[in-house]
Amino acid sequence: MNDRNKNENMNKPATGSGNVPASSRGAPAGASQAGSVNDASLQRRPGAVFGHGGPRALMPGEKSKDFKGTMKKLIAYLGPYRWAFIIVMVLATLATILGIMGPKILGTATTTLFDGVVKQITHKGSIDFTRIGQILLIVIGLYVSSAILQYIQGWVVSGIAVKITYTLRKDILTKINKMPFRAFDSTNHGEILSRMTNDVDTVNQTLSQSLSQMITSLMTIIGALVMMLTISWQMTLVAMVMIPLSIGLVRFIVKRSQKYFKTQQDYLGHVNGHIEEIFGAHTVVKAYSGEAKAVSTFNDLNTTLYQAAWKSQFLSSIMMPLMNFVGNLGYVAVAISGGYLAAKKMVTVGDIQAFLQYVRSFTQPITQVANISNVLQQTAAAAERIFAFLASEEEPKEEAVKRAAPGKGRTALETGMSAISGKVEFRHVRFGYLPGQAIIKDFSATILPGQKVAIVGPTGAGKTTLVKLLMRFYEPESGEILIDGVPVRNVPRDVVRSWFGMVLQDTWLFSGTVKNNIAYGKHDAREDEIEEAAKAAHVDHFVRAFPEGYDLVLNEETTNISQGQKQLLTIARAMLAKPPMLILDEATSNVDTHTELLIQKAMLALMQGRTSFVIAHRLSTIRDADLILVMDHGDIVEQGTHNELLAKCGFYAELYNSQFDESAEARAACS
C-alpha cells in the first residue's frame, strides 16, 4: 500500500485535461485539482450579456481531435437511456414553454392594473383586483409547473449521468485488467488515474448539468425571441443591437486575460508541487541545509503566480461592471423605445414590462450556450482520451488460447493446484521490453520439482525479468516456458499465477485489517489458518501487542507498523496461500538480522517439497540452494551448487568474494 499510495500521490493529475501529471515535479493532485476546479467552475458558470457574464464565459477551451467521432461514441453510451433522454427533452421543452408564457400573461395583469388606475383617476371605474388575482394565480401555476418539470428533468438527467459514469469507470477498470503489462511500461500512473477521475467527472458534469442546461437555453432563446417579436419587432431590433456590443466586449477582455489565467493555473501546480516535494522530503532538505534554496525557489514561483493571479483577477473583475453598464444601456434603450411605442398606442404598459423580462430571458442563455459549447469541447477532449484508452492493446483472450492448444493446457487447467509437481523448464527463451533490445537472449534451464533455485547476478542481469516471464506478466519473444511439461502459453494466466506465491522486496499492503491483508491470497481462510500462518512468519507476537490484534486497521501510508513488519505480513500472506511454487525476491531485505534468521527457518519449512525461486543479492542467504543460476547480461553464465561454483573460481566466486572476506586458502585457490 505504501508504494501504491506513493505512486498515486506523485502522479495524480493536475487539471481536468487529464493527459499529464500535476507537474514534472510531482505536484499533488489536491493542489492542482483545486486550481482546476476553480478554473472549471468559472468556465461552466452561466453568464448573461446584460449584467450576468462570467469572467471566462467565452474563453476557448481544450478541443478534441475528432469532435464528431467522439460524440458519436459518447452518444452510443447513451443508447440504453435514449427514451429517458427523449423524456428529458420533452420535459425541458414543456418547462421552458410554461416559463416563457409567464411574463406575457403577467404583463396583462400590469396592463389591467394600469388601466384600473387610469379609470380611478378619471372616475370612470376602479381596479379589477379579481381579474388581477386570477392572472396572478395562473402565473403562479405556470411557474410552479415549470419548476416541477425542471426538477423531474434534473432528477432523470442526474440519474443517467451517474449510471454512465459508473459504466465508464467499470469499463476502464475492466480494460486495465485486460491490458498487458507492457502497456504500463510507457504509461504514467497519473494518466490512468486521470482517465478514471478527472476525465470521467468532466463527462459526468456535462451530462448532469450542461446538457440539460443547453436544451433549456436553446428553447428559452427561441421562445423569448418569438414572444419578443409578438410584442414589438421594433423593440426587438433595439434589443438585438446590444448583443454584438456585449459579445465583442467579452471577447476583448477574455483575449487579454486568457494568458494570465493559463499562467496562474500552471504556476498554481508548480507552487503546490514544490511544497509537496519539499515537505515530503523535509528530512533530506534539512540534512543538506537546503532550506534557503527551497525558500528561494518558492519565492520565484510564488511571485510569478502572484503577478498572473492579480492581472487575471483584475481583468475578470472589470468585466462585470462593463457588462452591467452595457446591460443598463440596453434596458434604457428598450424602455425609451417602449415608452415611445406606448405613447403611440402600439404597445401596452404590460407589454413593456413583459418585454423587459423577455430581454433578460433572451440574453442570458446566449452566453450560457456559448459557455456550454466551450464545455462540450472540453468534454469531447476528455471523452476522446477515455475512448482512446479503452481502445488500447489487450492481452489475447484466454478462450482463443485454449482453442489453439486444447491438449495438455486444458488438462492442467482441469487438474488444479494440487496436481502440480513443480517441474519448470526454460527452453531458449529470448525477451526484451523494447523491440530489438533483448535483456534475456538465450536462456535455458531445467528445475526439478521441490528444488530451491537461487537466481543471482548483478543489477540489470535479468533476474526479476525471468520471474515476470514465469508468471506470464510478459510473453517471450521466442522460446517457451513449461511447467510439468505443459507450455504456460497454453494455460490461462490466472491459473498459471495461482500456482505461485510471491514475496517481493517492495511490500504491498492495502487499507484494511491485518487479518484481511494476510488472507489476501486465500479469501476463504479460517481465522485459525490465518493465525497459524502469522505464527510461522513471526507476525503473531507483534500483532497481539496492538490492542486491536488482528483487527488492527493499517492506515493509508501503513505508518502504524514498521517496514520490517510489513515484510513479515507479506510472508505470512504467502504462507497462508500454500501454493505449489514460490518466488522470493530478496524477501528478507527489510528485516533485522535476528528476524531474518527466524524468517529463513520459516521459509525453509514453507519451501519444503515446493519448487522455489529465490532472487538474492546477499549471497549468504542462498548457500543451501539446490541450484544456483548465475546470470549476466541476460544469459546463464554459470549454474551449480554453492560449493561447485566457488570451486570453479568464476563469475559467482568473484561476486561472492566481493561480499565476504574469504580465507587465504580460498583466495589462493582462485588466484
- Asked whether the whole model's pTM tops 0.85, one would answer no
**CA torsion sign, 537 to 541 to 544 to 545?**
negative
Residue closest to 490 by CA, chosen among 426, 399, 424: 399
Separation CA 256–CA 669 (nearest Å): 80
- The ranges of the chain with pLDDT < 70 are 1-64, 186-190, 367, 370-371, 373-374, 397-419, 461, 556-559, 587-591, 595, 598-599, 602, 620-621, 634, 659-671
166 to 171, 203, 378, 520: CA distances (angstroms): 9, 11, 20, 26
Looking at residue 411, what is its pLDDT? 47
- State residue 303's pLDDT score: 92
Under CATH, what is the fold of the domain 1-16+65-230?
Answer: ABC transporter transmembrane region fold (1.20.1560)
The grid cell for 439 is 535483456
What's the grid cell of residue 523? 479469501
Return the exposure string of 22-33: e unless at least 16 CB atoms fall within 10 Å of the residue's CB, then b. bbeebbbbebbb
pLDDT of residue 62: 57
Angle between helices 527-536 and 593-607 (to 10 degrees): 120
pLDDT of residue 415: 47
Distance CA 164, CA 73 (A): 12
With a CB cutoff of 8 Å and minimum separation 6, the contacts of 662 are: 656
- Structure confidence at residue 671 (pLDDT): 58
> 505 is written with which cell numbers?
522486496
Rounded to the nearest 5 degrees, what angle is found at the Cα of 250, between the Cα atoms of 245 and 255?
A: 130
Q: What is the pLDDT of residue 148?
A: 93
Phi-psi region of 485 (alpha: psi -120 to 50; beta: other; left: phi over 0): left
CA count, 13 A, side-chain hemisphere, 111: 17
Among 24, 403, 64, 434, smallest CA distance to 188 is for 24
**CB-based contact 128:117 (threshold 8 Å):** no
Q: What is the DSSP track for 61-87?
A: ----S-HHHHHHHHHHHTGGGHHHHHH
d(CA 183, CA 174): 14
H/E stretch holding 441 reads: strand 440-447
